[in-house]
Amino acid sequence: MTKRPPSAPRPPLPIVIVGHVDHGKSTVIGRLLFETNSLPEGKAESVRATSEKRGMPFEWAFVLDALQAERDQGITIDTTQIRFQTKARRYILIDAPGHVEFLKNMITGAAQAKAALLVMDAEEGARDQTRQHAFLLHLMGLETIAVIINKMDRVGYQERRFQELRDSIGRTLHEMNLKVSGVIPVSAREGENIAAPSAHMAWHRGETLTALLDSLPDAPSQSEKPLRFPIQDIYKFDERRIIAGRIESGRLKEGDRLLFSPSNKSAVVSSLESWPPREGRGFSAEAGEAVGVMLDRQLFLERGELASHQSDPPFLSDIFRARIFWLGRHPLTPSVSLVMKRATSEFSVVLQSVERVIDAASLEEVSGERVSRNQVADIILRAPSLQALDSFGENGLMGRFVLLDGRDIAGGGVVSLDGYADQRPILEARMRDVSRVSHKVSPRERELRARHRGGVLWLTGLSGSGKSTLAFALEKTLFDLGYGVYVLDGDNIRHGLSEDLGFSVEDRSENIRRVAEAASLFADAGFVALVSFISPMRSDRARARGIIPNFHEVHVSADLETCEARDPKGLYKRARGGEIEDFTGVSADYEVPEGAELVLDTGVEGVEDSLRRLVEYVEGRFRLVPEGVSDYEI
């Protein structure tokens, strides 16, 4: 990482400050501004005069009151950015609302911050909202968190009370995998331990609040991360087309080759434009700068496309995991459609499934597949087309998103791509300049010769569900009935066509793609191809359906207990023993088909019954003419 020259000032540190509505957060801010000489001249006196006029005691919280509604209700209802500085550093303090009704505004505030201050009342201790705020900070990826135990004057500046609260909140934050940078006892009203050590708390050997802030690490530079340049708009001047946007991470210069996602188009930067214009040519720009880009060739691009360097592109997928904080008016349930906003992109998503629900107040896991207001959940979302994504762990800024229900903000969250393969290689394979050749024999001629249609039965299910048993039995029966039929089995494919592939998520996805392409060729030749593959991901099976014209999904549905009891190859036993990683059904998910053409519950019905239903299905959909008719004219 590039180091800042010794003479260069430290960049401003954005800090979000959160806390329960009555725990004195605004008082902490007001006093902090006063103690660092950051208030506008005469502001304190003005507040004092206003308080006296209203017959109210002087409150440092009134320093922040910019809205009459806040004075009347006594709560902060929006996020406010406040700039102040100490001798060591400049700060941008983001005042986020504490009232439960305004949590959605807090998400906006936390998304901009690089560190956080959590304010807690020394008398009341941690409340449900305190835990909610802490979990939200974790959800938004803030790792640097300091805790302020306020109103120590109310408990007589007791060391024992401070230690109790310090240990309690420390355990809570540890459960959330949050790192505590420090816990400071203060009395904001009295100015104790804000900028100078408190005589009432001589037992505290730690830092003051301002000293703690100055010791926080600088935010990691977004410029050192891979380039992410979301297109905000495209402007046309004369013959020029200028792509405008803000660089969210990385660096950009003339001559760079850019890859645009999800369209997968590329071009070279012929020039950079800035406002106001910079003198000379050949300048570069980095994270945080708004620039215009001209390309060496015309591309049809739209708002929301994401530019990157070809060496570090974003992930392409139509399915991904996410952790969200739900704020919607109605519970979130599977199949609900929402709009996801991230940077300049906006696209629809559907909740495919809920993996885990956590009550943000108690931090306990909740059963069921519905996410209620103010709950946190691990979910799987699906988009109707490929989207450019970054996992939150790789790029915190680009890995965050907001969910909209209609026009309302219904939640916020972070992206996880664990367990899913990047679909860019598949997209690129389809885009290569390769032309198909035409056969001299038409599909109709093949059908008439074979007396049945070509197509694919895709048998999916857990290991041990009976897929291969049924596939080979069906192959023999159909062969005896005169069908051209062949089984493509997972184990056999691994010994040939896919012998170069391992068992990573990417390799498994590529394995399914190869099988789908091979099965499509069998179908095109007039055969009934029987594909027997676990194929656990709906997205992989959906791609197979897109490759194969006459595709029929058969869910061989046996529950995990039944499959594990059979365990014909001893795989479950090995997986339980830790010998096999990411084994479907044990340590990896199986996504049950939605809308399969045929479902066979082999845990209930025997092989003969399932085979009979399969034969009836094939005869009804693949046979061209009724039995007994044998006169075909070609």
pLDDT confidence bin for 75, thresholds 50/70/90: very low
In a domain, 562, yes or no: yes
- Percent with pLDDT over 90 in the chain: 37
State which of 424, 458, 485 marks the end of a domain. 424
Using the Cα atoms of residue 572, residue 461, residue 503 and residue 587 in order, give the sign of their dihedral.
negative
Across 468-578, where does the E strand assignment appear? 485-489, 528-532, 551-556
What is the DSSP-derived secondary structure letter of residue 225?
A: S
pLDDT reading at 180 higher than 80: yes
Same domain, 367 and 400: yes
The pLDDT tens digits for 582-601 are: 788 888 888 899 889 999 99
Tell me how far apart the alpha carbons of residues 334 and 337 are, in angstroms, rounded to a whole number.
Answer: 9
Same domain, 199 and 261: no
pLDDT reading at 373 higher than 80: yes
Cβ atoms of 185 and 199 within 8 Å: the answer is no
Please give the C-alpha separations between residue 305 and each of 222, 259, 313, 486, in angstroms, as whole numbers: 19, 10, 12, 43
In a domain, 2, yes or no: no
Same domain, 374 and 244: no
Same domain, 138 and 162: yes
The pLDDT tens digits for 468-525 are: 999 999 999 999 999 999 999 888 888 888 888 877 777 788 888 899 999 999 999 9
Query: For the chain, how many residues are written?
Result: 634
How many structural domains does the chain have?
4
Of these ranges, 8-12, 61-65, 371-375, 615-619, the one predicted with the greatest mean pLDDT is 615-619
Cα 388 versus chain centre, distance = 11
Same domain, 261 and 342: no
Same domain, 37 and 141: yes
Q: What is the pLDDT of residue 108?
A: 56
pLDDT reading at 397 higher than 90: no
Same domain, 302 and 329: no
| Overall average pLDDT of the 356-381 stretch | 82
State which of 365, 398, 424 marks the end of a domain. 424
In a domain, 511, yes or no: yes
pLDDT confidence bin for 163, thresholds 50/70/90: very high
Tell me how far apart the alpha carbons of residues 327 and 13 are, in angstroms, rounded to a whole number.
Answer: 28
* Residue 51's CATH number: 3.40.50.300
What is the DSSP-derived secondary structure letter of residue 177?
A: T
Please confirm, yes or no, whether 345 is among the known catalytic residues.
Answer: no
From 535, 539, 557, 610, the catalytic residue: 535
State which of 366, 398, 424 marks the end of a domain. 424
The pLDDT tens digits for 531-577 are: 999 998 888 888 888 888 899 999 999 989 999 999 888 889 888 88
pTM attached to this predicted model: 0.60
Q: What is the pLDDT of residue 551?
A: 95
- Helix (H), strand (E) at residue 166: helix 159-175
- 255: closest CA among 244, 270, 266? 270
Same domain, 347 and 387: yes
Q: What share of the chain is helix, strand, coil (3-state, %, to 5)?
A: 30, 30, 40
Q: What is the pLDDT of residue 630?
A: 46
Q: What is the pLDDT of residue 439?
A: 83
At 239, is the secondary structure helix, strand, or coil?
coil
* Residue 370's CATH number: 2.40.30.10
Tell me how far apart the alpha carbons of residues 230 and 16 are, in angstroms, rounded to a whole number.
Answer: 25
pLDDT reading at 231 higher than 50: yes
Number of neighbouring beta carbons within 10 Å of residue 555: 22
Q: Residue 197 is part of which domain span?
A: 13-215
In a domain, 123, yes or no: yes
